[in-house]
Amino acid sequence: MKNLGFGLGLRPDHYEAILSDLPPIGFFEALTENYLVPGGKPLHYLERIRAQYPLVLHGVSLSIGSTQPLNREYLKALKALMLRVEPHWISDHLCWTGTDGVNLHDLMPVPYTEEALNHVVPRIQEVQDFVGERILLENVSSYVSYKDSPLTEWEFLAELSARADCLLLLDVNNVYVNSVNHHFDPDDFLRGIPRHRVAQIHLAGHERQESFIIDTHDAPVAESVWNLYRLAGERFGAVSTMIERDANIPPLEDLLEELDIARRMTEMPAVA
Amino acid sequence: MRLQELQRAFQARVLLHQDGIGAELNHEDDIDFELRLDIYVEGYRTRLVEALGATYPVLQKTLGSEEFARQMRNYVDATHSKHYSVREYGADIAQWIKSRSDYGQAKELSELARWEWTLADVFDAHDDQSLEISALATVPAAMWPGLSFTLRACVRRFETRSNIVQWWRAANGLCDQPAKLIDGETSQWLLWRRGVKTFFRSLDTVEAPLLDAARRGSTFGELCEQIAPDIPDTEVALRSASLLRGWVAEELIADYLLPAENR
């Protein structure tokens, strides 16, 4: 996948500033579901911004890990949006969002089992066949883990991406969050992910509780995540990187400054 | 436990506070295990209540954040989200409020919710072209009686017996705040979009049924007949044409159908 440089999540608060100032941003990542609407303001702005910047789509409702059938209505709407705005790629999450017709609108964790692999891999292939390209799947934050989960998260992701021939969106914040919540070394995670599978990196903020971390996406990127991002840069090289802010949206300039940290970090020599 | 049973058990915990999933999860952090599970349970409710607040901001303001959250959590517990987009959640809030016998001013608040849902519906309705007045000028006079019209996809009609539109405008700083929500005389409203901007205005007793008839496919001749009883004969065609010209100028009309196409 092409390296699009350093990007930001596209948020309505910034539409006007983006179009009036045309800031130097490598790409925007739009939340797919916000634009699966018949028309009006969201699509109006998305198309205008797409005319100026590279765009990728990031979904939350594919529910690739769910045991209910893939939602064909959703896939058709997704494909229609892809035809309309021609994203460089599309991504979603390795998770399930509901079963038996319910949508929890949350990124629920899958157990890292052979059964789950056998279930999810053909679904990824079905989606890729339908949209006509490889998709990216993101590692999600989680707060609980399953007893029956013999593989590590990174072993599961590596195996999944190999069998389904899909790509990965590495959320460095989520790696850090899970390393604290589930007591593993985040370096092991990074070392366990095949270099050639990582096509995009997410950076985000989190909220530390007494003994675990909540992935809030409502704060600047934490120092611990920047440190891990440096290691990710060493392992995966130059990969499209973006900051994802979903709440407490600051002015665009603040995010540009934060993005500059990522830019500078990849230009610095590796720490011995 | 198989994958499907596992997901059902986890979902039952989130939706119904059932305990089955606990035995399938690691408890290495017993001290905060319930807290961790609550991130999913509470997060589900918080997320949907926030989404409802985005769709119904004036209802939220009217009830107050705390009461709104309390009521909406009851709604969330009673109504599971079925759509892939959270934007679609809460379509029946108006009906739900109306059915609450324990709720003061349920009828007016229900109307307010219905108004806000209609606004949201207009906001992202399908983009279509509006008819140019110059296009109508090319229609031969003989064809006018049989001419019919297609309204744009964003056009919505709204009827209410409450002062909720004034209430909504006041909440957005557009007029003085009424003393309270009241049940009063019926008023008719038109909502639509020009470009990306949403508009609404009231309709009088002549224009409202006429617009409804136009939407149903009545011809221009039938529209003239409809308003004939209300105004002098000599003004019927003129008044109908004037209303139509206004609708076109306001970008309410998508297209027209000539009589032959209409049979």
CB contact under 8 A, B124 and A211: no
Contact A93, A215 (CB under 8 A): no
Mention every residue, 6+ apart, whose C-beta is less than 8 A from residue A33: A59, A60, A61, B84, B85, B86, B87
CA B133/CA B142 separation, integer angstroms:
18
CA dihedral B8, B11, B17, B23 (to 10 degrees): 60
- Cα distance from B110 to chain A (closest Cα, Å)? 25
Each residue's pLDDT tens digit, B181-237: 888 889 999 999 999 999 999 999 999 999 999 999 999 999 999 988 878 888 888
CB contact under 8 A, B87 and A147: no
pLDDT at position B28: 65
pLDDT at position A224: 94
When CB atoms are compared, the residue of B40, B44, B84 closest to A71 is B84
pLDDT at position B104: 75
Give the chain A residue whose CA is nearest to the CA of B29: A211
CA B121 to chain centre: 5
B127: chain A residues, CB-CB within 8 Å: 38-40, 43-44
When CB atoms are compared, the residue of A40, A61, A147 closest to B24 is A147
- Which of 94-123 (B) contact A at CB < 8 A? 122-123
CB contact under 8 A, A106 and B44: yes
Check CB contact of A106 with chain B, cutoff 8 Å. yes
**β-bridge partners, B253:** B151
DSSP conformation letters of B92-141: THHHHHHT-TT-TTHHHHHHHHHHHHHHHHHHTPPP-PPPPHHHHHTS-G
When CB atoms are compared, the residue of B25, B32, B195 closest to A211 is B32
Each residue's pLDDT tens digit, A250-265: 999 999 999 999 999 8
Give the chain B residue whose CA is nearest to the CA of A111: B3
Average pLDDT over residues B42-52: 97
Mean pLDDT estimate for chain A: 95
pLDDT at position B232: 87
Q: Which 3-state string (H, E, C) describes A146-191? A: ECCCCCCHHHHHHHHHHHHCCEEEEEHHHHHHHHHHCCCCHHHHHH
Q: What percent of chain A has pLDDT over 70?
A: 98
What is the pTM assigned to this prediction? 0.93
Give the chain A residue whose CA is nearest to the CA of B28: A182
A128, two tokens:
């890729």
pLDDT at position B29: 60
Q: What percent of chain B has pLDDT over 70?
A: 97
pLDDT for residue A242 is more than 90? yes
- Cα distance from B84 to chain A (closest Cα, Å)? 6
Each residue's pLDDT tens digit, A178-218: 999 999 999 999 999 999 999 999 998 888 887 888 888 88
Check CB contact of A33 with chain B, cutoff 8 Å. yes
Check CB contact of A99 with chain B, cutoff 8 Å. yes
Most confident of A240-249, B42-51, B251-260: B42-51
pLDDT at position B58: 98
Give the ipTM.
0.94
